[in-house]
Structure 1
Amino acid sequence: MKKSVQILIVIGLLCAINRLSYAQTAKATISNDSKLIISKHIYGQFAEHLGRGIYDGFWVDKNMPVKKQDRIRLDIVEALKKIKIPNLRWPGGCFADEYHWRDGIGPRLSRPKMVNTNWGGVVEDNSFGTHEFLQLCNLLGCEPYISGNVGSGTVQEMSNWIEYLNFDGTSPMTAMRAQNGHPKPYNVTFWGVGNESWGCGGNMTPEYYSNEFRRYAAFAKNYPNATLKKIATGPSDADYNWTESLMKNVGTRMWGLALHHYTLPTGDWKDKGSATKFTREDYFKTMQNTLKMEELVTKHSAIMDKYDPNKKVALVVDEWGIWTNVEPGTNPGFLFQQNSLRDALIAGTNLNIFNNHCERVKMACLAQAVNVLQSLILTKKEKMVLTPTYHIFDMYKVHQDARLLPIKLDAPDFEMNGQKIPAINASASQDAAGKIHISFVNIDATKAIEVKADMGDMKWDTVDGQILTSANLTDINTFENPNKLKIAAFSGAKKSGNNVIVTLPAHSVVVLELK
């Protein structure tokens, strides 16, 4: 009897080991049959007049001991140039619909001050305005994306701003531009017609906003060398009725439809959870919430397909990222939060989703670039730190304007308390030089996963890689220890026939290069 029990125990242990082994193995198939391009504009950024994003972020005191051009902080510029940010959205956000552009041009000392009623009630001196923003974009080598004021502005105000920026001729607007130091036009093409018009931008219904968009857009003129890409306020999260209404009533009059979706760790706007102090259960729920982006993009795209089967209208996810409670002791209206390994996994996951939906998703903007929400960069006086999220954009820049390689995954689940989510996600592309890049995210908190990826008929000889991970999901980069999380060389991948076999450590992001 005792021997039989021992045999049963051994068999049970073997079965458990087999199940564990299976749970740590995944298969992928990567095909070469797509002509779709992953637009570089998916890797865009957002800089709102909010907290320390513009003032004391990009735009600093003239006496601050850092390298500057005018008052633009150049160490930030160089860091963002390195990751090749393709566009920068400005001036908001909610701020856009209370911003009047003429207050931000001309001699700085004579510009009127304004109250930022959306973000902390602070008084701004308007020293950072249109010309300063476009100078910043020029230094960054990126395209400007301007959000116009529909909420508290007028059709004429937006029309005049566009003329001021883009007309190459003689008019009162161009004379004013020349007087302010820029005789030639800026040729700004990305133009947001309002922001969150369902909320802070005017509390409009979709039907009312559809009519407003058509009215504003009619006077948003194209000028030579500046054909506008007009981006409409799109839905918040799962507001599918908004998308339906805009597609029905506006359709291809817009270049893009903007979707906003933030990852809330708790799912509760009143208490969103900490950026740095969270349990494994909190982490699991956060990843559940961020993976909803796949469902949102899929369902909104399906509605758009009904009215636009040729996919002329882009889905523009121009606000996304994790939103937590602010750091203790900071202004609640400034939305300053730290940035952990968890945030890097969120960034990699969302970028994989956008890449795989590049047929419809043509543009996205992380919220936000500096010192606000899921920042790429944090500053403290003259100090600057690159966040884990920054390193993801550095690793993923290889996908910009590369050809999508569709990937199918057969992977295990990450399980907790009887709930399951996919443990890994991925996207793949081939660049103009023929190099193949595969980005993997293993969100499992404890388990390494081996992936066997079938590369089909694609030719390649070597595989190299990079990895971002750390000992703890809560690990962060600080001003005292700015390199705790940084990109490292990765040697956990090998060639086997025409398969690539890669072992992804727990809670890691890996980008492979095959050539």
Structure 2
Amino acid sequence: MKKYCYIRLGIMGLLLSWQAVNAQNTVSFLKDTTGPVINRNIYGHFAEHLGNCIYGGFYVGDTSHIPNTKGVRQDVIAALRKLKIPNLRWPGGCFADTYHWKDGIGPKAGRPAIVNTWWGNVTEDNSFGTHDFLNMCEELGTEPYLAGNVGSGTVQELSDWVQYVNFEGKSPMSDLRVQHGRNNPWKVRFWGVGNEAWGCGGNMRPEYYADIYRKYATFMHSNWKNEHLFRIASGANSSDYNWTEVLMKNIPKNLLEGVALHHYAVISWNQKGDAVNFSERQYFQTMQSGLFMDSLIHKHSAIMDKYDPQKKVALVVDEWGGWYDVASGTNPGFLFQQNTMRDAVLAGATLNIFNNHADRVRMANLAQAINVLQSVILTHGDTMILTPTYHVMEMYNVHQDATLIPIAIHSNDYTLGKEKLPAVSVSASKDKAGVTHITLVNIDASKAQDITVNTQGSFKSVNGRLLTSAKLQDYNSFSQPDKIKPVAFNGAAIRNGNLTVKIPPYAVVVLTLQ
């Protein structure tokens, strides 16, 4: 197997003959290496019973004046279809380990209410449950990813849920599903076996959770022919490498398809900073935390390689994104924050990292889809707007199921005081039609970047799309919903076999080469 990587040439000591002595921001396609397919599931999303993500976000009920399909907003369905979301994780998050799925089936009037103790202590009436979510996924054309309750639920409860949604023969759970109006199973493939077992999922030690995982996973069966469940273990909190070590060492590989990783770009858990009124220092710190994702994946992957050299087990980054202080005047347990150009840059750079680690990262979920944290959609009453992060995810969906083009990159530094970060982030792929796409991010808050790309090919045309704005702090509001949106990019040209690009500060660019 040929080795490929996303590297900085200064670190690796790699010199390319085509570079001039003083050349900077140079990218080279490594044509003599074979890259993996970028799994479309890297572009997944997350919908937790948290704040106004489900209720008022996705779901308004079938009696609402807001146009809906079985209670799900039609404008949300249309927007997410355009985004081509490949999977959607539900019902949590921390909420998953207090959620009992049988509370959310059957006639809505008869469903018991609970208190959402994790997020705002609000009453949850369970009007949005298993049927509602899985039918919504069918409307969206996306695969559901169900997070099972391990913290407060039983093995039997999780096993019954699997049977309820997947078994096509006659059984107690499939009979119950038919009784509630669904004849055919949904055939749910992705299953989380608990969530954040090191924290809100039970404050477990990794050794204890590994044994719990083995027990629960043993009783989870696909229940349909020629298919297997994709079971995902509750993985590490950011740089807890021992957690990954213990899980990989102690869980048999026939019970394990994926190991999760959670990492948020946060300035400080005590002082997260405002989502809109932030300084360049706070922007730099956010990007510093976000770019740490590359180191995390390198190190967790190295541990996984020891126990799984054939890379059969996926690294699943099923919670990522920027986390700031909640918007003033909102419920602190609802985690509502605005979404600026800072978030667009963060999203673009993070997705480039995932693409370049596509050999091991085969699924990821942005937290969260609507009205919570780094969302792609915001709603208010019957109005919906798309965030800058939405536009980045839409621009980048050209990479879904395309073949990664491994690259070597040398970047200028983005310097603030005595600290520095690489100014340029890049990934590239070739789709099934043979079209090449390059996604580039300029992280620098004040300087444009000139980039030379040696494509080692004979491309005749290049066109692109650009996302940027007048200020880093700009965002789309309900009064100005289109302040930030993609526009045509004319800053790229092909000269003497090389591609030259001039990208403005804090900007995201997607190029198409043919």
* TM-score, scaled relative to structure 2: 0.94
Q: For residue 259 of structure 1, what is the aligned residue in structure 2?
A: 261
Secondary structure in 2 matching 1:182 = coil
Which residue is 2:250 aligned to?
A: 249
Which residue does the alignment assign to 2:442?
442
Q: Which residue of 1 aligns with 2:297?
A: 297
SS in 2 for 1:304: helix
CA distance in 2, matches of 1:223, 1:64: 37
Matches within 5 A, 1:204-283: 204-225=204-225, 226-252=227-253, 253-264=255-266, 266=267, 268-283=268-283
* Cα distance in 1 for residues equivalent to 2:265 and 2:21: 31
Q: Deviations over 1:60-95 (max 9, x none)?
A: 144543220121001001001001000000000000
In structure 1, the residue matched to 2:3 is none
Tell me how far 1:461 sits from its aligned partner: 1.1
Matched-pair contact (CA < 8 Å) for 1:23–1:412: no
The one-letter code of the counterpart of 2:240 is D
In structure 2, C-alpha distance between the alignment counterparts of 1:127 and 1:322, rounded to whole Å: 30
Q: How does 1:48-447 map to 2 (within 5 A)?
A: 48-225=48-225, 226-252=227-253, 253-264=255-266, 266=267, 268-447=268-447
CA contact (8 A) 2:244 2:303 kept: yes
8 Å contact 1:272–1:324 — kept in the other structure? Answer: yes
Residue aligning to 2:13? none
- What residue identity is the alignment partner of 1:394? E
Relative to structure 1, is the Cα distance of residues 136 and 319 closer, same or farther in structure 2, using a 3 angstrom cutoff? same
- State the one-letter code of the partner of 1:227: H
In 2: Cα distance, 1:411 partner to 1:269 partner: 30
Q: Distance in 1 between matches of 2:419 and 2:210?
A: 40
**What's the CA shift for 1:251?**
4.5
1:274/1:325 contact within 8 Å kept? yes
Distance in 2 of aligned mates of 1:62 and 1:311: 45
The one-character-per-residue Cα deviations of 1:420-471 (angstroms, maximum 9, x if unpaired) are 1100111000000111000000010111111110011x33210000000011
Secondary structure of the structure 1 residue equivalent to 2:133: helix
Give the secondary-structure state (helix, strand or coil) at the position aligned to 1:164.
helix
Q: State the TM-score, normalizing by the size of structure 1.
A: 0.94
Structure 1: how far apart are the matches of 2:286 and 2:22? 22
Identity of aligned residues (%): 55
* 8 Å Cα contact 1:146/1:190 also seen in 2: yes
1:503 partnered with 2:470: no
How far residue 24 of structure 1 moved from its aligned partner, in angstroms, is 9.2
The code of the aligned residue for 2:258 comes to G
- CA distance in 1 between counterparts of 2:372 and 2:362 reads 24
Instruction: Render the CA deviation track for 1:355-398: whole Å, top value 9, x for unaligned.
Output: 00000000000000000000000000001110000000010000
The aligned amino acid for 1:481 is Q
Match in the other structure for 2:5: none
In structure 2, what is the Cα distance between the partners aligned to 1:471 and 1:22? 34
Structure 1: distance between partners of 2:27 and 2:352: 15
How far did residue 23 of structure 1 move? 9.2
8 Å CA contact 1:115–1:123 kept in 2: the answer is yes
Using the alignment, how far apart are the partners of 2:22 and 2:201 within structure 1? 47
Question: Is contact 1:155-1:219 (8 Å) kept?
Answer: yes
**Letter matched to residue 27 of structure 1:** T
Q: Distance in 2 between matches of 1:114 and 1:223?
A: 30
Separation (CA, whole Å) in 2 of partners of 1:452 and 1:65? 53
CA distance in 2 between partners of 1:471 and 1:251 (Å): 52
Q: Aligned-residue CA RMSD in angstroms?
A: 1.3
For 2:223 and 2:195, the matched residues in 1 are separated by: 24
- Cα distance in 2 for residues equivalent to 1:346 and 1:508: 10
Describe the SS at the equivalent of 1:150. Answer: coil
Q: Which residue of 1 aligns with 2:480?
A: 481
Structure 1 equivalent of residue 10 of structure 2: none
Contact preservation (8 Å) 2:60, 2:66:
no
Q: 2: distance between equivalents of 1:23 and 1:381?
A: 55
One-letter amino acid matched to 1:257: V
CA distance in 2: counterparts of 1:144 and 1:448, whole angstroms = 41
Does structure 2 conserve the Cα–Cα contact (< 8 Å) formed by 1:25 and 1:412?
yes
CA shift for structure 1 position 222: 2.0
- The Cα offsets for residues 133-153 of structure 1, whole Å up to 9 and x where unpaired, read as 001100100000000000000
